[in-house]
Structure 1
Amino acid sequence: MSSIRLFILGSLDERGPMHGHQLRLLAEQEHVNLWTDITVGALYGAIKRLAAEGLIVETRVEREGAYPERQVWQISEAGRESLRSMRLDGLRAIVIKPDPFDLALTKLDTDRLDHLPDTIQGRIQTLQAMIADTESHRIHVDKYLTKAEKFVMRHKTERLRAEVAWHNDLLQQLPDIIADERARKDTPDD
């Protein structure tokens, strides 16, 4: 499921024909880069791909003042069918990506185990700072958000809070993990 495709098709379906710059401004206005995996700069490439697939079609070319000509796009019937499917997939799919931290924790440097508590504490502080930044930004943009967008912005904060709780639990388990790593190092392989 591609968030950027869902954003473009959904925006054209909801708001009508737009050119790429209008879609970019909308993405910035909705702050999608803060609560989705969309990179605003990637919109133009995604527009080209959607057009090549026939999911959007050019309706006209506009020129305002001295600005370059801009292609205005609208969603096609095939795009609407694809959008219906994407919306459903987006609501059903659960995306939890593997964190490289997990692999690193299982492949510890036994010569640096004494540094592990400070490293974990640093991660907790970073996560807490991310929560504070996210909350601060959410409060700042709250007046511009729909009820659904407000709820979605909370989702990121709740995920970060769950990460802090997990890391705090890890911090409590570290003495046992470190002891286990040292014991495994001292035990020769058969």
Structure 2
Amino acid sequence: MPSSRSLQFSEDAESVLRELLAYSLLTWGPERHTAGHEGQPGNRWRWRDGLAERDTLPGRMGWSRPTAALAGTGVRARRTVSATRLLILGALRFMQPAHGYSVRQELESWRADEWANVAFGSIYHALNRMAEEGLLAPVDAERPSRRSARISYVVTPRGEEEFQRLLREYWWERKPLVDPFQVAAAFMNELPRDELLTALGHRLALARGTIDALGFEIAAPHTEEKPRHVAQVLRLSVERLEAEIRWVEATLAKVERGELP
């Protein structure tokens, strides 16, 4: 039980908080974890005493020591895993049989990293995990010359049941969007005025650049490999970015006039 006296941040905790705040304000994109490509090391997250810690495995660039971040009860993590599962099952259903690399290529063509909170390198792990759970079944391995075998998968009846369950859950229930930028914005008063103005301007540039990139994807010709409704999904990302631009512009003007923070 904590004592009745006030709790104070240590200098290290204060440093981490400011680092996370600045990072969230200066980057754009859904919150995600990172993973290496198939057979390569990546970043490993673990829970300890209510905190999420990331260890950088050998061979990957990252923090020199584990970085701790405030974490909730794990509901958000489970929701992320379920959304990734729905995405991979859905893609595999019309591609099957397919191996991890072809699924990754397909989802990259959908720009799924912009709207589905998926790290492409984690696809291989997700496929293996779903196969262990009986949602997927491996079929004959494809062996390119001088490369290790690629295992192709098909969706099992149990996997089809899981896909239909998740599909309807996400259509009929509203899930809160978790945006680290919005969390950081709640503490805009912690940044010096000049840095805050620069960060807001940077956010505008990032959002506009992403809209331009998504515009090229939306205008790309429809193919059998890329369902035509994917363009409509990308338009949702564009409209959310446009809403963020309006908010940032209004906030920037208020900061310049001294009305915020």
TM class by shorter chain equals: 0.7 to 0.9
Q: Which runs of 5+ in 2 are unaligned?
A: 1-78
**Aligned partners of 2:123 and 2:133: how far apart in 1?**
15
Q: Pick which of 169-178 and 41-50 moved more.
A: 169-178
Q: Are residue 55 (structure 1) and residue 138 (structure 2) matched?
A: no
Q: Are residue 150 (structure 1) and residue 256 (structure 2) matched?
A: no
**Aligned partners of 1:116 and 1:67: how far apart in 2?**
49
Q: Which residue of 1 aligns with 2:207?
A: 127
**Aligned partners of 2:194 and 2:145: how far apart in 1?**
65
**Aligned partners of 2:108 and 2:207: how far apart in 1?**
25
Find 1:170's aligned residue among 244, 251, 261: 251
**Aligned partners of 2:110 and 2:248: how far apart in 1?**
31
Structure 1 vs Structure 2: percent identity of aligned residues? 22
Amino acid at match of 2:118: I
Find 2:186's aligned residue among 94, 97, 103: 103
**Aligned partners of 1:118 and 1:30: how far apart in 2?**
32
**Aligned partners of 1:71 and 1:114: how far apart in 2?**
53
Distance verdict in 2 for CA 1:94–1:69, change over 3 Å: same
Amino acid at match of 2:137: V
Q: Which has the larger radius of gyration?
A: 1
**Aligned partners of 1:16 and 1:119: how far apart in 2?**
44
Q: Are residue 20 (structure 1) and residue 86 (structure 2) matched?
A: no
What is the root-mean-square deviation of aligned Cα atoms in Å?
A: 2.6
Q: Are residue 43 (structure 1) and residue 126 (structure 2) matched?
A: no
| TM-score (normalizing by structure 1) | 0.75
Runs of 4+ in 1 over 6 A off after TM superposition: none
Contact 2:135 2:159 in 1 (8 A): yes
**Aligned partners of 1:84 and 1:32: how far apart in 2?**
20
Q: Pick which of 163-172 and 88-97 moved more.
A: 88-97
* Deviation string, structure 1 residues 115-147 (Cα, Å, up to 9, x no partner): 5444433432332233223324433x3444533
Q: Aligned-pair distance for 1:65?
A: 4.6
Distance verdict in 2 for CA 1:147–1:94, change over 3 Å: farther
Contact 2:217 2:231 in 1 (8 A): no
Q: Which runs of 5+ in 1 are unaligned?
A: 182-190
Q: Aligned-pair distance for 1:62?
A: 3.6
Q: Aligned-pair distance for 1:60?
A: 2.9
| TM-score (normalizing by structure 2) | 0.57
Distance verdict in 2 for CA 1:58–1:114, change over 3 Å: closer
Amino acid at match of 1:108: E
Contact 1:142 1:150 in 2 (8 A): no
**Aligned partners of 2:156 and 2:241: how far apart in 1?**
38
Q: Which residue of 2 aligns with 1:188?
A: none
* Deviation string, structure 1 residues 74-127 (Cα, Å, up to 9, x no partner): 11111111100111123233342142332322x435xx3355444433432332
Distance verdict in 2 for CA 1:117–1:8, change over 3 Å: closer
